[in-house]
Amino acid sequence: MRKWFLVQLYFLMSVLCSTAMAEEVVVELYKFKFIPQELTVKVGTTVKWYNKEKRQYHSVWFKEQGEEPGEYFFPEESVTKTFDKPGRYPYVCEPHEKKMKGVIVVTK
């Protein structure tokens, strides 16, 4: 009985630890800006863009990587992307491309 409890405890701990290690970092979209505008993360990090505006939609588009424009997302919505390779990843917001630019720098 006791052994079974320990097995369960071990399983629970390993789940909790792996969740904590898969890092997620948030970029906020507010007043037509990506905050922070430049963000450095480690390989394997998931970046979440959270729209904090009152009523303005935005998008996250890795144009220079040749990706399709991302979908628009509205206040209180978010989009995520996981970065598996080191590099410098500039992106823009499609409808506000001229003023909304950001960069994700991915390090080893």
Contacts with Cu ion, residue ranges (CB under 5 A): 58, 93, 96, 100
When the beta carbons of 83 and 102 are compared against Cu ion, the nearer one is 102
State which residue, 58 or 102, has the beta carbon closest to Cu ion: 58
| Strand residue runs (E) in the chain | 24-30, 33-35, 38-42, 46-51, 78-82, 87-92, 101-107
Measured from the CB atom, the residue of 2 and 55 that comes closer to Cu ion is 55
In whole angstroms, the minimum distance from the beta carbon of 94 to Cu ion comes to 7
Could you give the CA distance from residue 29 to residue 21 in angstroms, rounded to a whole number? Answer: 25
Shortest distance, CB of residue 27 to Cu ion, whole angstroms?
Answer: 12
Give the shortest CB-52-to-Cu ion separation in angstroms. 12
- Residues 93 and 61 sit within 8 Å (Cβ to Cβ): yes
